Amino acid sequence: MVKGFERRLRSFHGRRLKNWPYVFIDGMAVKVFDTYLKEKVVIVAIGMDDEHRSEILDWVVAESEDEVSVRGLLIDLKRRGLTSPRLFISDDSRGIVTALRLEYPHTAWQLCSFHKISNMQRHLRDITARAEILREAGDIYQLSSTRSEALRRLREFCSRWQRKEPEAVRLFRRGFEDTLRYFDCPQHMWVSLRTNNPLEQLIGKLRDWTHRFNHFQGQTNLELALYTYVCHKNGELVPEAAHQEEETESQIPTLFVA
């Protein structure tokens, strides 16, 4: 059975991809015993279409979420069919952002609005006003129906809090327009695209799936554990095809529907 999963995993990593319009990227820390116990990062990409269907495109296990590792993943996705997505969504990881600009210079990038607000929260001086500030910052996205309205609400927010929280406001305002790229997409997609939540939810489920392991004995075991989750989500954890000597690509589970 393990050999069957290994064969299917190789096919999963090499399968052709369609050109998904929206792509989410993020990393998940894991512990791997490779000569000695070390922490590695699983960098995951999922695609989403205009009907909110989602697919795990692939992942790469790396030492860190650096530019080289992310570029390796992106180059492989591009080679397999992800040629011109409409929008990438991620946090402000320097490695991810730099890699996206190099490999997909003509594709827009959406900075996760939740991470934007969380980053501001870490720089608040007066924690007694935290709930009010965070609610008003969130309302900029929740209540705005156009980009211009969001920018107007931003100006009002900054005017209100600039004197009390200058550093937090400065960080929130810096690069703010990168959090508004979702306005260029169909309105029914806005809630799904303005944060990295679709991928964060998947990563949470992957952590739950792998929490029984204190650490993984080598990268191969880690990869197999991740892949069995893909099979589990598709109801194919122990498929009949696993007992066959060869399997067709159509039998390889790929979809993850949020």
Measured at the alpha carbon of residue 25, what is the angle toward residues 22 and 29, in degrees to the nearest 5?
160
Tokens 């269907």 — which residue?
53
Q: Measured over all CA atoms, what is the biggest interatomic distance in the chain, rounded to whole angstroms?
A: 69
Number of other residues whose CB lies within 10 A of the CB of residue 98: 15
Predicted TM-score (pTM) above 0.85? yes
Mean pLDDT by runs of 10 across the 258 residues of the chain is 83 95 95 78 97 95 95 97 97 96 97 95 89 96 97 97 94 96 98 96 89 74 86 66 44 48
DSSP lists the bridge partners of residue 36 as 34
Q: H or E stretch including 54?
A: strand 54-62
